[in-house]
Amino acid sequence: MKIVMFGNYALYFIPRLVAFSEFLKSKGSTLDILEESQKNLLYENLPKVENTKLNIYHLWDSPPDLSYEKKIFYMLDKLNPDILITGFISFPYGAIGLKWAKHRHKGIIEYDDQRYNTFSRNKISIWVKSRIIRNVDAFICPAPAWDETLLKYGFKKNEIFYGLDTSDNDFWGKKVENTDFQMLPKTYFMTVGRQTTMKNLPFFLSAYKEYLNKGGKIPLVMVGNGPDHEKLLKIAGNDNRITFLDFQTRENLRQLFVRMKALILPSTKVETWGMVVNECMASGHIVAISNECGSSTTLVKDKLNGFHFNPYSERDIINALFNIEKLSDSEYFNMRQKSLEIIKDWGIDRFVSEVYSACNYAYNNRKKVNNLIDKLLIYLWKGRYNITAATK
């Protein structure tokens, strides 16, 4: 079985792709990666030792005079997979990938971690997408919490597979002997990520300042950068209990986890998962998380390995911070152990197993588009998702 994954893949996807590729080789199958955009090159962030383990191709390797759709058809015809795995039909490459698969009678799997209410949609858009997406053979989502969304889109339960957002638990769980961040406080709360609107960091930082005013004692480290950075600096003022660090390598981030008291993720519902939660838990730490964030119900169990809060409630956030500060040593230890216990089920092995099962299912259950309306919609639909507008 020959499989192509087509899309744009962030750095945290690399261990999953390498593991899946190696697993497929053991089964006599192959994996090719087709990158859609030159703005997010996977191999630029790929260690050389892992680069040789992946077959990476580019959409821009196609003849330059072709249209976007014809470039996709050209490259997929050239690679000729039995199974195409690509993003949701909201993305142009997901929409055209589906069209290619149906024209070529190939298996098609799509993946996404949006839920039904992540973005507002009108009834016409919902109807169109439902008619199109029901022709996808299998779907990979993060966890069973996404069943409601996919069932509304017309999928059957046996067409849904989990484990999209899993982490390299072995890496994050590795013991750190030394740290390069001795200048930081002996313990601290920490936020990690691109400082954009969906992260809700200015509101959180204002709540954190009020926590300090009420006698809170734990300092804060904010890791990352982005459009809201200057706003955050202004809110922080010159408070020496608040430290800003730029983006960090995953090796550095693992060091920063060592003395961290808890990860804080105050994002809105546009944060459809939050991979840093996996990474934090795999290192044996607890999380205070917005109840809108995608991973909150699957990974963070309130008062067991962290705390939930309303991201728009200053009181909720302050209470969560004080709840963590007031934990006894034994309570804190038990919560950290619970994180390790929960995250064991969400490692790379789960991604590999579930995606391989989805491939087998799609290969043996390729849907024919018999409905004329569906055929017309698949032909006309080009995708229109604007990721910049959604996350800025």
Q: Which two tokens stand for residue 111?
A: 């993946």
Of the candidates 384, 386, 377, 298, the residue with the CA atom closest to the CA atom of residue 136:
377
**Cβ-based neighbours of 38, under 8 Å, separated by 6 or more:** 58, 60
User: pLDDT by residue for the chain (392 residues), tens digit each?
Assistant: 999 999 998 878 889 999 999 999 999 999 999 999 887 555 555 554 455 679 999 999 999 999 999 999 999 999 999 999 999 998 999 999 999 999 999 999 999 998 877 766 777 877 888 889 999 999 999 999 999 999 988 899 999 999 999 999 999 999 998 788 889 999 999 999 999 999 999 999 999 999 999 999 999 999 999 999 999 999 999 999 999 999 998 899 999 999 999 999 999 999 999 999 999 999 999 999 999 999 999 999 999 999 999 999 999 999 999 999 999 999 999 999 999 999 999 999 999 999 999 999 999 999 999 889 989 999 988 887 544 333 33
Name the token pair of 253.
Answer: 């981030």
15 Cβ neighbours under 8 A, 6+ residues apart = 167, 168, 171, 348
Q: Is residue 192 a contact partner of residue 276, using CB atoms and an 8 Å limit?
A: yes
Which 3 state secondary structure label does DSSP give 120?
A: coil
Residue closest to 343 by CA, chosen among 265, 259, 286: 286
pTM score, whole prediction: 0.90
| The residue type at 142 | P
User: Quick one: pLDDT at residue 49?
Assistant: 43
CB 192 within 8 A of CB 253: yes
Instruction: Provide the pLDDT for residue 44.
Output: 53
